[in-house]
Structure 1
Amino acid sequence: MDVLINVFVALHIIGIAALLGGFLTQMKAMGAGTARFTPGMLHGALTMLVTGVALVGLNQADDQPVNNLKIGIKLAVLVVILALVYVKRDEETVDKGVFGAVGGLTLANVFIATLWT
């Protein structure tokens, strides 16, 4: 079971990398007002959602403790990220505030995951 959990952790990190990488590569474009959400950002967020749900289920099946409050907050943040990226995915340019919010919420999710013990 540990190997399966670690595979899903790796996939979860790949999803984070796709979402955060898409944001970071467009920081200059965000400053110019020409940033847009790429398909990789949407796919990264969806990967985070699917693997995160799988990780909670696998950890519970393995009788490992799961902090439901932490998972609930991370899920709520991810749902907001997904909503923003999904709704604005076809627009040529995205407002700086919306684009920055997605980056900030992604970083918040990373810090919640790593610092909340």
Structure 2
Amino acid sequence: MEILRYVFLVFHLFGFAALLGGLFFQLRGKDPVTGSYMLSSAVVQLVTGAGLIWTRISLDLPVVHAKMGVKLALDVLVAVTALVGMRNKQPWAFYAVGAFTAAAAIVAVAWN
């Protein structure tokens, strides 16, 4: 079960890296758009984040439920905003995905 927790953690970080890397790459262009990579990365983050919570509970490791709830809510916001931006080609959605991703990273690092 410990190995599964690390697998979830690594893929969770891969999802974050894909989101943030894609955001910075899109910022180089004149008109940044929300792409399908954002939606797939957000779904990876959502699924692996839920898997991380499950494995921590299964291993009787300490879990701050408020923090995990906020992180999951931010991951859902990222996924929904990416979907809306992809479907409607709204420019605000691109920046909202970036803001929600940054907020999720801040919560993950700063909240003890």
What's the Cα RMSD here? Answer: 1.4
TM-score, normalised by the number of residues in structure 1 = 0.88
Shift >2 Å, 4+ stretches: none
The secondary structure found in structure 2 opposite 1:99 is helix
Relative distance call for 1:28 and 1:94 in structure 2 (3 A) is farther
Using CA pairs under 8 Å that are at least 6 residues apart, name the structure with larger relative contact order, 1 or 2: 1
Q: CA deviation at 1:39?
A: 1.4
1:106 is matched with which residue: 93, 101, 111? 101
Unaligned runs of 5+ in 1: none
The secondary structure found in structure 2 opposite 1:6 is helix
CA contact (8 A) 1:35 1:94 kept: no
Identity %: 35
- For residues 45-104 of structure 1, the C-alpha deviation after alignment (integer angstroms, 9 at most, x for no partner) is 00000001111011101001111100111111111111111122134x432x33212111
1:3-22 equivalence runs, <5 A: 3-22=3-22
Unaligned runs of 5+ in 2: none
TM-score, normalised by the number of residues in structure 2 = 0.91
Q: CA deviation at 1:28?
A: 2.8
